[in-house]
């Protein structure tokens, strides 16, 4: 167990350093590139062949989803800004506007601006790192997590296609909202002092009309559910990060609170779906007979 903890800790450090290097060089972070990054994890545990066989179907699905995200803006013309009204009805004023009025000082960036930026970027690698943790500890939970995450991602994509919604910073750009800054446009150049950084950030966000549900809110909660199931009370140490993500994406001007609520509901639904319905899904027998994908087998 201690050996596994050491391997995972080393892997996490490796993932963080690699992510910072990629972002600093203006390289887009994508599941396709990270297949080769996390392949190092398979080398660490000396199970490279098993790693490729277990992870290839998962990464194929995620890469396909990542590719499809580019098409949503081209497939729809009607963009909704209804979250502005919903947040106003719920809180009387927009939480994003309120938070930035009281916490954001563009002339003097604060430590929490940079922390929120870091928390935001961890979204793009954390689900892969957690998947690796499950893979080396509990293959069954890994398969369930992969299934839930994949279905969640595609359900969100369908939602974006049928009901495209814009984040606060786009609403400001289009004149629907005032008083919100895109804070990461200011924190990222300071962190990396490179003109390449905005290129990387733009490459991370190919779909500017994918606000509701917030996958930034959904992914960490889904991770928390599986961590709670697999690691019991130890998973509670991850809960502050989940809350920090929800706060950060609202504060940074990337999402409304209703986007976060929708992400929570999606995460809860697909977690339960992976735990209950899939265990009785008859097509699993077919997959088991043909032996692919491996992560559907018990």
| Highest-pLDDT range among 11-20, 78-87, 104-113, 258-267 | 258-267
Q: Can you give the pLDDT at residue 210? A: 76
User: CB of 260 within 8 A of CB of 212?
Assistant: no
End-to-end CA distance of the chain: 23
Dist CA 142 CA 139 (whole Å) = 5
**16-70 residue pLDDT tens:** 676 666 666 655 555 556 666 666 656 665 566 677 677 766 776 666 666 666 5
Q: Find where tokens 């994908």 sit.
A: 293
3-state helix, strand, coil in the chain (%, to 5): 75, 0, 20
* Counted domains in the chain: 1
State the residue range of the domain holding 90.
2-296
């Amino acid at each position: 167990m201690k050996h596994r903890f050491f391997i995972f800790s080393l892997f996490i450090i490796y993932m963080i350093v690699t992510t910072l290097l990629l972002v600093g060089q203006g390289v887009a972070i994508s599941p396709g590139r990270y297949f080769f990054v996390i392949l190092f994890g398979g080398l660490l545990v000396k199970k490279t062949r098993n790693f490729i066989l277990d992870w290839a179907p998962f990464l194929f699905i995620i890469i396909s989803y990542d590719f499809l995200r580019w098409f949503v803006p081209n497939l729809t013309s009607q963009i909704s800004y209804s979250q502005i009204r919903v947040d106003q009805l719920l809180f009387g004023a927009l939480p994003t506007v309120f938070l930035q009025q009281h916490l954001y000082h563009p002339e003097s960036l604060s430590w929490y601006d940079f922390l929120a930026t870091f928390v935001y970027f961890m979204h793009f690698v954390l689900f892969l790192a957690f998947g690796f943790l499950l893979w080396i500890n509990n293959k069954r939970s890994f398969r369930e997590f992969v299934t839930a995450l994949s279905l969640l991602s595609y359900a969100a994509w369908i939602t974006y296609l049928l009901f495209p919604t814009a984040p606060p910073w786009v609403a400001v750009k289009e004149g629907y909202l005032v008083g919100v800054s895109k804070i990461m446009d200011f924190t990222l150049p300071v962190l990396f002092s490179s003109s390449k950084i905005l290129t990387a950030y733009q490459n991370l966000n190919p779909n500017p009309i994918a606000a509701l549900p917030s996958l930034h809110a959904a992914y960490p909660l889904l991770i928390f559910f599986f961590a709670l199931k697999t690691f019991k009370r130890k998973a509670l140490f991850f809960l502050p990060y989940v809350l920090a993500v929800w706060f950060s994406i609202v504060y940074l001007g990337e999402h409304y609170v209703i986007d976060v609520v929708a992400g929570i509901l999606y995460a809860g639904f697909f977690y339960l779906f992976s735990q209950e319905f899939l265990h009785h899904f008859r097509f699993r027998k077919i997959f088991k007979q043909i032996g692919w994908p491996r992560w559907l087998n018990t």
